[in-house]
Every structure is written in C-alpha cells, then in structure tokens.
Chain A
Amino acid sequence: MDPKDAAQILEQAQRQARRQFDPQPPVAVVVGAAFVFLFGYGAVWWSIRDQHPYSSGPALWSLGVLYGLIAVSAIAGTVIYNRAQSGVSGRASRQRQIQGIAIGAAGIGAWVVEGALRYRGVSFEIVYGVYGPTVPLIALAAAAAGINAVKESWLQLGVCIGIIAVASVSTFFGPLGAWGLTGLGGCLVLLAYATALVVLQRRSSDVRI
C-alpha cells in the first residue's frame, strides 16, 4: 500500500468514526433545541403578555406547546444518542449514564423545591412565573456545566454558562421577562453554539495527518 493511500484511509476512517461515535448532537438538533426555547417559552410569554398583574398564569395551549416541544426534543436527542452509542459499552459508557443521573437529579431537586415553595404559600407569580421557567433550567445547566468542566469541553461549558446567565438575569424582569428573555436568550445561545459547531466541523474536515 502506498503511504499516501494509507494516509487517506487513516483520515477517512478517523472522520467516519468520529462522526458515528460522537454523542454531541448534530447541528440540526442544536438548532431544533434553539427553536424549542424560542417557540416553547415564546408561546407561554405570548399567553401571559396582557396579564398586569400576573393572575391566571399561562394558557393551557401554551403549556401544551412548551411541553410538547420539550418531549419531541428529548425523544430526538435520546434516539440520536442511542444510535451513536449502539454497540459501545465499558467504563466511559457507564460514566455517561452516571452523568445523566446527576443532571436528572439536579432537575428533579429544583422541581421539588418549586412544589415546596407553592406549598409554603409563596405567590403564584413567583413560583410559576419566575421560578418555574428559570431555576430548574439553571439547575440542569449547572450540573451539565460541572460535567463539561471536568471533561474540559470548553465550548459546551460556555453554552451552559450562557444559559445560566440568561435565565438568572431574566428573573429581574418578572414573569414576562423570565419566559420571554429566557426563551429568546436560550435560543440565541444555542444558535451561537450551532454556528461554532459548523466552524469546528469545517476545520476538522481540513485536518491532515
């Protein structure tokens, strides 16, 4: 075999393996998740935009849009992840499952506190208008940020920090800001992430041994 042919086979095999095993979502899924933020959070913002003061909360249809989009996004993410990891097992694979449990625990903890706040008589506006759209998201993003920091995945860490920043700052603007700004900001952070992924993919396809 000619060394140039060997180099070509090596590059092609590396590219193919990276593409097939990569558990990172493809650009289309990141863009899809960006629109989940925009249209899911946007639908709730739309349904409460005339409530001054915040009274009846989001319309049922808007919650249906939000949770429907989240469900579709979660299913798509799971299918893509399982396809990438099909036939792969071992220590690193088990570590990823444990990381998933850690992120899930952070989210569940935040939702339990939401229920507790309502139970203790905190206002409907704070619990469902401000806490609901932001704190569980911050908890999930913080857990993911910790995992990405340990893995030195700086781009993903930046995305998590971006979402935490957007969600936390939006709480200053009440229910309208919490839903509207988190939706818009989350969408912009994910679109920036998708752009960075495209740039990185182009660069990695230019790599030569």
Chain B
Amino acid sequence: MTTTTIEPLDPLIHVPARLRILVTLAALNEGDTLSFTRLQNMLDLTPGNLITHLRKLEDARYLRTEKVWDGNGLATTVTLTTRGRAALDAYTEALRNLLGGLTS
C-alpha cells in the first residue's frame, strides 16, 4: 500500500484577502512593483484592512513595501519577493494535492 503525504496549507496564505494579494502580485512580471492604490482598487479592500494584511505578509518576507516619490508625493509600492512567489507556488501545489485527495 502506498501513502501520499499531503502538505499542510500555509496558514499565513490560507486567508482569502492574503491569498488574493499574493495571487495578484504574482501575476506581475518578476521585478515589477504595484502601487498600494492600484492594489487596493483591484482587491476592493479598505486601506486599513489592506495595510494589516500587507504587514503580516511583509513580516514573513513574502513581500516588500517601499515608499517612493512618484512626482506628486510619497507613494507606497508593493513587490512580491522570491520567497513569497515560492510560498504561493508551494501553497498552490499543496491545495492541488489536497483537492486531488478529496476527489479521489
């Protein structure tokens, strides 16, 4: 009899808003950054809510936020780190295995 080990889902990512944040940032090309305002508009979250989730992800070094001068004032930009991209890939793989296990 063969047994397959199902990896647990990363609890930091396994929250709807944080999952959407990482997936949205992962859709950008590696090396690109996204403004806080655009991210907020895309996800339809309040600024406070978004900041809370970004802090948690930044603490885990899944993303990096920076204050940059955009001509009108200081703007916050968000970048997915290599570690964050790898964590999202691992989460997707674990989810695929888990759902495969549920359906079979």
Name 10 A/B residue pairs within 8 A (Cβ), A-sorted: A3-B9, A4-B102, A6-B19, A9-B20, A10-B95, A14-B27, A17-B23, A86-B38, A90-B79, A91-B29
Q: Of B16, B30, B31, which contacts A9 at CB under 8 A?
A: B16
A4 with B99: CB separation less than 8 A:
yes
Instruction: Report A107 CB to chain B, min CB distance, Å.
Output: 25
Q: Give the residues from 18 to 34 in chain B that come closer than 8 angstroms, CB to CB, to chain A.
A: 19-20, 23-24, 26-34
B98 with A3: CB separation less than 8 A:
yes
| Interface 0/1 of A3-16, CB less than 8 Å to B | 11111011001101
Chain A residues touching B, range: 20 to 34
Instruction: Report B42 CB to chain A, min CB distance, Å.
Output: 6
Q: Of A1, A87, A92, which contacts B38 at CB under 8 A?
A: A87
B32 with A88: CB separation less than 8 A:
yes
Complex Cα–Cα for A179 and B42 (A): 44
Chain A residues within 8 Å of B15, by CB = 1
Complex Cα–Cα for A129 and B99 (A): 63
For the A-B complex with A9-B16, A91-B29 known, give 18 more contacts whose Cβ atoms are closer than 8 Å.
Answer: A1-B14, A1-B15, A1-B16, A3-B99, A4-B99, A6-B16, A6-B19, A6-B95, A9-B20, A13-B24, A18-B27, A87-B38, A87-B39, A88-B34, A89-B35, A90-B33, A90-B79, A92-B31
Known contacts A9-B20, A14-B27: A87-B99 contact under CB 8 Å: no
A89 with B42: CB separation less than 8 A:
no
Interface-centre pick from A1, A9, A87 (highest chain B CB count, 10 A) = A87
Q: Of A6, A89, A92, A93, which contacts B14 at CB under 8 A?
A: A6
Which residue of chain B lies nearest to A93 when distances are taken between CB atoms in the complex? B32
B9 with A88: CB separation less than 8 A:
no
Complex Cα–Cα for A90 and B80 (A): 12
Chain A residues within 8 Å of B95, by CB = 3, 6-7, 10, 209
Known contacts A3-B9, A89-B77: A20-B42 contact under CB 8 Å: yes
Complex Cα–Cα for A7 and B23 (A): 12
Interface-centre pick from A10, A14, A91 (highest chain B CB count, 10 A) = A10
Chain B residues within 8 Å of A16, by CB = 24, 42
B27 with A17: CB separation less than 8 A:
yes
B20 with A92: CB separation less than 8 A:
no
Instruction: Report A94 CB to chain B, min CB distance, Å.
Output: 9
